[in-house]
Structure 1
Amino acid sequence: MVAATTPVVPEQTPPSGAVTFDLSQPPHIEGFDALPRPKDEPFKEKFIRKTKENPFVPIGCLATAGALMYGLRAFHQGKTRQSQLLMRTRIFAQGFTVVALVVGVFATALKAKQ
């Protein structure tokens, strides 16, 4: 029967000029200043702040959800023409929301540069 043994590795000292890392501290990178961590804000406050910054995104989300619900209700009731119209409205509302998001991102990026 063969016993499993672990090889013994002698402790090695780093050669002169070698870099050692202290993992208990964040690294120091020359020319880089770490930003302070933003304060933790509750969901409600963040939602209100984001809505004030770009009010068209929640409006588009509500329009999308409303058109979807009414469209599914019309489909369930057998009103195919109204259902199709509401599904097209939903697609328009989704497009509006995506455009509002993109415009908001660009506006925020431009505001940060100024």
Structure 2
Amino acid sequence: MSTPGSVAPEVAFDPATPPVIEGFSPTVCGESVRDKFQRKIRENPVVPIGCLATAGALSYGLYCFHRGNSQKSQLMMRTRILAQGFTVMAILGGLVVSAMKSPRPH
């Protein structure tokens, strides 16, 4: 038996499997987390592109800042803002398209 405040892991951590949470099942309707992620990418492939563009602009901007190139760093931070806006618009566009596809009750 463990003492209060000590942490005793019951099972080794495996990042490939989802965490076990009481009352929550990640495989609702037989769909795993990986399957859901792949389905979401197929439904709206523009969102991951926007996320990668945002992360790329941020990373390169931070690299330029670290190297002392403030002009290029500022340009990359502005590019990051544009990429974030693109990503948000892609998410909203995907919501509108999925709302128009879903059948409405009479």
TM-score by length of 1: 0.64
Unaligned stretches of 5+ in structure 1?
1-37
Unaligned stretches of 5+ in structure 2?
1-27
Amino acid at match of 1:104: G
Residue 85 of structure 1 deviates from its aligned partner by 0.6
Residue 43 of structure 1 deviates from its aligned partner by 1.6
Structure 1 vs Structure 2 CA RMSD: 1.2
Work out whether 1:52 is the aligned partner of 2:52: no
**Secondary structure at the counterpart of residue 29 of structure 2:** coil
Amino acid at match of 1:107: V
Larger radius of gyration: 1
User: In the alignment, which residue of structure 1 is the partner of 2:103?
Assistant: 113
Q: How much identity, in percent, do the aligned residues show?
A: 57
Deviations 1:3-24, CA, capped at 9 Å, x for gaps: xxxxxxxxxxxxxxxxxxxxxx
How many angstroms apart in 2 are the aligned matches of 1:98 and 1:56? Answer: 10
Residue 40 of structure 1 deviates from its aligned partner by 3.9
Q: Pick from 91, 94, 102: which aligns with 1:101?
A: 91
User: In the alignment, which residue of structure 2 is the partner of 1:18?
Assistant: none
Q: How many residues align?
A: 77
How many angstroms apart in 2 are the aligned matches of 1:78 and 1:89? Answer: 18
Structure 1 moving runs of 4+ over 6 Å: none
How many angstroms apart in 1 are the aligned matches of 2:70 and 2:80? Answer: 15
How many angstroms apart in 2 are the aligned matches of 1:56 and 1:86? Answer: 20
How many angstroms apart in 2 are the aligned matches of 1:42 and 1:70? Answer: 34
**Secondary structure at the counterpart of residue 102 of structure 2:** helix
